[in-house]
A and B are shown apart, each in its own frame.
Chain A
Amino acid sequence: MTDRRENDKNWIGRLYDWAGLSAPVGVILLVAFILVPVLPGDFWTEVGTEVLILGLFAMSFNLIYGYMGQISFGHAAFFGLGAYATAMLFRYFSGGTGEITTWQFVITLLVGPPVAALGSFIVGIFVIRLTGIYFAILTLAFGELIFFIVFSWYSFTGGDDGIQRLLPPAIFRDAAVYYYFTLAIVALATFIMWRITRSPFGYVLRCMRENPLRTRFIGINIKRYMLVNFVVAGTFAGVAGALWGPFTRSVGPLLLGWQEGGIAVFMTLIGGAGYFVGPFLGSIVYTFLNAYVTGFTVYWPLTIGVVILLIVIFAPGGLMGIIDAKISQGWFGLFRKKEPSENLNRLKTDEEAGD
């Protein structure tokens, strides 16, 4: 991993070398998340649940953006497909009464990810045919198409009314219980994603991002890898979607729209796309900023738009990038001066990027 001497470092330094900034930040976040329900009242627990679910959604997006180097504006379609699959089975089981047994509830959650996987496979077949700008356009277009289908197929999906009264079984109705349930699933999903990004598969993705042509020259079928990654990302978005319906007690077609997809994009960007836990950090900042700003103004899109603009122009590495830069400057003497760690720091500076 590194050519620096291993033995003159404390454990933080070694962790940093092994996993970049993501591991220590991830550990801190995990501890913090476990402690959230200790805070008085259900408010923080509910905000925490939202942060977790959307964080998972954003991380699944970053498999495509940060690791594969393609930008998907239609990722919410798979989040929404997962949410709708779960919600529709939920409606079937509960028969509109809102009562559902625990094992039925578990089955409804299990059905979300495969449906999202199927959806992302079908869309993926088409979108992976092209890269770059076309990939962005096509994901947006297909996402809007799926949104449109769900929106107008009133008899099947409930149209713009969505599906209401998704009341989880009694034990999950407590905010703290659902929070820990979500935390367990999100932590597991995050761990699996972490393993994926550190596997040969994950390195092939990075290789494709850096140089698709060379990746092909060494005998890798890049289209197949793109498709598999697209499906993996879609599946994890489906996991997040499945958790979303019972959390908010309802689903609506806007979950599939480009605005929802934009949330994943913004979270990733705020946190730092070049870092594994970046999207999660972004989810925290975004969710709190949203809750704070919408408290006194309805012009949230304007606010987040300006924030994104500033980040794109001045800090393309996001929050994690800023922290990483500070550490490499020997921040507070906590760390030795070192090169910025990053394992996937793709974001070029202006000087080195020629045309």
Chain B
Amino acid sequence: MPLDPGLLFVQLLGGLSRAMILFLLSSGLSLTFGVMNILNFAHATLWLVGGYVTFSVFSFLAVPLGESGLVLVLAILIGTALMVILGYLIERVLIRRMYARELPEQLLLTFALILIFGDLIKLIWGVEDRSIYFPIEPLEMLDTFVNPYYFVVLAAGVGVAAGLWWFLQKTKYGKIVRAAVYSRDMVSALGIRIPLIYAGVFALGIGIAAFAAGVFLPLMPMALGVDTDLIVQCFAVVVIGGFGSIIGTFAASLIVGVVYSFSVLIWPDGALAVIFLIVVMVLIVRPWGLFGTELRY
């Protein structure tokens, strides 16, 4: 295959945008697990629900306001807000009952949520793919045409990553969340209401996922079954990066996204296999992940 710089560039952009979506999902997954010790198998399914909700909000708003970028931004914000509320409710009604339970039961609860929400999507939105089509003028770069929306997606991903980092490192609430990762009892003894933190973190994770879904709507159609592909790749990301590390998650997302994108170019059927090869290698050398700490099991 001739090394066409334009093609490689498009592939790189595709890989980076894929990395962004993986990061936005995995960071929520990793954060929820770090704080609450609950691994949410349904995280990608809720991402998908977020995408459908945003689509519906967009369609609803587009009737009086017309289809414009501003309406999309508005739809994304409303969709995210709705999903934050849903995430809060899920935590309050279901997840909250599971904190004292054993790990397999917690996993099973979120596993059941995949089925429930997956089917609810089918029930509400039917089986057709949903996406928002924007006629955007392609940019000409390196002798090829590039959809400029890729850059919007990348900016949004990096923006959320930076925002999350700032929130966790610099704000009071972020510090409480990080403290809760280390010692729930201590945080609780200081008079901070742990249940509120839990609900907030869970809702935040879902919110980030929903935001990601909304931002990706013009690029990537929402379709049934996409969620399970994605959650498996998110797991690859958190295993490679190590749980509880935002930087690790970011680095691993880049690795997985870009490697996947180029593997598709070279060996379309084996792209997923290449990702798992990386997972296996990481597990052999550093079972706790590239950026994780060995003490966490």
A250 within 8 A of B: no
Q: Does the CB pair A265–B103 fall under 8 Å?
A: no
The distance in angstroms between the C-alpha atoms of A149 and B236, with both chains bound, is 17
Determine the distance from Cα of A68 to Cα of B75 in the docked complex, in whole angstroms.
47
Interface size on B, residues (CB 8 A): 45
With A126-B280, A316-B105, A355-B100 as contacts: A308 and B39 at CB distance below 8 Å:
no
Known: A350-B100, A353-B102, A355-B99. A136 touches B107 (CB 8 A): yes
List of B residues within 8 angstroms of A145 by Cβ: 272-273, 276
B228 adjacent to A305 (CB under 8 Å): no
Which of chain A's residues have a CB closer than 8 A to the CB of B103? 71, 132-133, 136
Given contacts A71-B107, A136-B107, contact A316 B287 (CB under 8 A): no
A153 nearest CB neighbor, chain B only:
B269
**Could you tell me if A312 and B108 are in contact, using CB atoms closer than 8 angstroms?**
yes
Are A304 and B232 touching (Cβ within 8 A)? no
Q: List B contacts of A73 (CB < 8 A).
A: 107, 111
Convert A130-141 into 0s and 1s, putting 1 for each residue whose CB lies closer than 8 angstroms to a CB of B: 111110111011
| Chain B positions 216-244 with a Cβ under 8 Å from a chain A Cβ | 228, 232, 235-236, 238-239, 243
Which of the 9-residue segments B4-12, B54-62, B119-127, B207-215 touches chain A?
B119-127
Q: Do A299 and B123 have beta carbons less than 8 Å apart? A: yes
Q: A132-B297, A141-B279, A313-B109 are in contact. Are A305 and B119 (CB under 8 A)?
A: yes
**Would you call B79 an interface residue if the criterion is a C-beta within 8 Å of the partner chain's C-beta atoms?**
no
Complex interface residues of chain A between 20 and 78 (CB less than 8 A to chain B)? 65, 69-71, 73
- A16 to B94 Cα, complex, angstroms: 35
Also in contact, A308 and B111, with CB within 8 A (given A258-B228, A313-B94, A353-B100) = yes
How far apart are the CA atoms of A305 and B109 in the complex, in Å? 9
Cβ of A346 within 8 Å of any chain B Cβ, yes or no, is yes
B179 lies within 8 A of chain A by Cβ: no
- Closest chain B CB from A153 CB (angstroms): 8
Given contacts A145-B276, A313-B109, contact A69 B104 (CB under 8 A): yes
Task: Check A312/B116 contact, CB under 8 A, given A138-B239, A140-B235, A149-B273.
Answer: no
**Chain A CB within 8 A of B115 CB:** yes
Q: Is the CB of A302 within 8 A of B297?
A: no
Contact of A130 among B101, B270, B283 (CB under 8 A): B283
> Given A133-B33, A302-B119: A144 and B97 within 8 A (CB)?
no
A347 adjacent to chain B (CB < 8 Å): yes
- Give the distance to chain B from A346, nearest Cβ to Cβ, in Å: 7
| In the complex, per-residue mask of B62-73: 1 if CB is within 8 Å of any chain A CB, else 0 | 000000000000
Interface pair B105/A140, CB less than 8 Å apart? no
| A126: B residues at CB distance < 8 A | 280, 283-284
The answer to whether A312 touches B115, judged by C-beta atoms less than 8 angstroms apart, is no
Bound complex: CA of A133 vs CA of B110, how far in Å? 13
B153, CB-defined interface residue at 8 Å = no
Contact with A along B263-296 (1 / 0, CB 8 A): 0000001101100100110011001000000000
Q: Which of B104, B109, B115, B239 contacts A301 (CB 8 A)?
A: B115
Query: Taking the nearest CB of chain B, how far is it from the CB of A147, in angstroms?
Result: 10
Q: Is the interface of A mostly helix, strand, loop or mixed?
A: helix
CB within 8 Å of B: which of A295-309? 299-302, 304-306, 308-309
Contact of B235 among A141, A265, A302, A355 (CB under 8 A): A141
A124 to B58, CA, bound (A): 47
Residue of B115, B280, B297 touching A131 (CB-CB under 8 A): B297
CB distance from A185 to the nearest CB of B (A): 29
> Chain B residues near A148 (CB, 8 Å)?
272-273
Complex Cα gap A354–B100 (Å): 6
**Known contacts A136-B107, A141-B232; is-contact A355 B184 (Cβ 8 Å):** yes
A69 to B107: give the CA distance in the assembly, Å.
13
Closest-CB distance, B150 to chain A (whole angstroms): 27
Q: Which residues of A contact B297 (CB under 8 A)?
A: 130-132, 134
Residue A205, interface by CB 8 Å: no
- In the complex, A225 has a CB within 8 A of chain B: no
* Chain B residues positioned under 8 Å from A354 (CB to CB): 100
What's the Cα separation between A286 and B100 when bound, in Å? 27
Partner of A265 from the list B108, B120, B243, B284 (CB cut-off 8 Å) is B108
Known: A65-B104, A145-B272. A305 touches B113 (CB 8 A): yes
Residues of B within 8 A of A308 (CB): 108-109, 111-112, 115
Contact B269 A136, beta carbon cutoff 8 Å: no
Given known contacts A131-B297, A133-B33, A308-B112, A348 and B123 CB-to-CB distance under 8 angstroms: no
With A133-B39, A144-B232, A149-B273 in contact, do A302 and B115 touch (Cβ < 8 Å)? yes
Contact with B along A305-329 (1 / 0, CB 8 A): 1101100110010000000000000
CB of B205 within 8 Å of the partner chain: no
Q: How far is the CB of B67 from chain A (nearest CB, A)?
A: 32
* CB of B118 closer than 8 Å to a CB of A: yes
Q: Which residue of A lies closest to B238 (CB)?
A: A137
- Given the known interface contacts A132-B297, A145-B273, A299-B122, the answer about A269 and B108 at a Cβ–Cβ threshold of 8 Å is yes
- Docked-complex contact B276 and A305, CB < 8 angstroms: no
In the complex, what's the smallest C-beta–C-beta distance from A338 to chain B, in angstroms? 25
**B268 (CB) vs chain A CBs: closest residue:** A152
- Find B120's partner among A132, A302, A304 (CB 8 Å cutoff): A302
**Do A309 and B94 have beta carbons less than 8 Å apart?**
yes
Shortest C-beta distance, B271 to chain A (Å), equals 9
Whether the Cβ atoms of A152 and B269 lie closer than 8 Å is yes
A142 CB within 8 Å of chain B: yes
The reply on A198 being an interface residue by CB < 8 A is no
Looking at A132, A134, A309, A355, the one whose CB has the most chain B CB atoms below 10 A away is A134
Do A262 and B239 form a contact, CB below 8 Å, given A141-B232, A299-B122, A313-B97? no
Interchain Cβ contacts under 8 Å between A and B, 7 examples:
A69-B104, A137-B235, A141-B236, A299-B119, A304-B115, A305-B115, A354-B100
Known: A148-B273, A300-B119. 5 other contacts (CB 8 A): A73-B107, A152-B269, A304-B115, A309-B109, A348-B100
